[in-house]
Each structure stands twice: as C-alpha cells, then as structure tokens.
Amino acid sequence: MQPEVFVDIVRQALGLVALLVAASIIPSLIVGLCVSIFQAATSINEQTLSFLPRLLVTVAALMVGAHWGLEKLMGFFQQMVEEIPQVLA
C-alpha cells in the first residue's frame, strides 16, 4: 500500500467525522450562546438554565440528522470497500 492512499483514506475519514460532529454540535453552540446572552442581560446566574435547552437542541439535531449522517457513513463505507483492490495492489 502506498502512503498517499493511506493518507487520503485517513483525510476522508477525519473530514467525515468532523462533518458529522459539527452537525450536532453547532446548533448546541448557537443555543448556548443565545442562552448566555439572555443570562447576561437579565443577571440570572443559574447553571441549569443553559443545560436543558442545549440538551434538547442536541437531541433534536441528532434525531433530524441521523438519516443524513448514516447515509454519509454508509457511502463512505461503500467507497472504502470498492477501493480495497486499489489499496492492496
């Protein structure tokens, strides 16, 4: 196996992982920022106030994006299976 092929596979895998993680984390970050701005504006220093909305948004993002993420993961797996002869040659 040539090093270029291995590096390309790892690059694609890390890019896919970053994309899948960002799809669930970015909505949570946006909601956390909004709640933090609200807490700063109203001087409410309750730690649990920011936890529940972020949790709900993260779960909702995972539920909505699960089909898309699984489709991306299956496509990557099929691509890797198709590239087995190239990697072994």
The 10s digit of each residue's pLDDT in 38-63 is 988 988 888 778 889 999 999 999 99
Computed over every residue of the chain, the mean pLDDT equals: 90
pLDDT above 80: residue 37: yes
The residue written with tokens 């669930």 in the block is 24
Query: Band of the pLDDT at 1, cuts 50, 70, 90?
Result: low
Lowest-pLDDT choice from 13-17, 26-30, 42-46, 76-80 = 42-46
Residue 60 and residue 38 in contact, taking contact as beta carbons nearer than 8 Å:
no
Q: Write down the domain spans for the chain.
A: 3-88
Residue 66's pLDDT is what?
Answer: 93
pLDDT at 5: 82
How far apart CA 39 and CA 35 sit, in angstroms, is 6
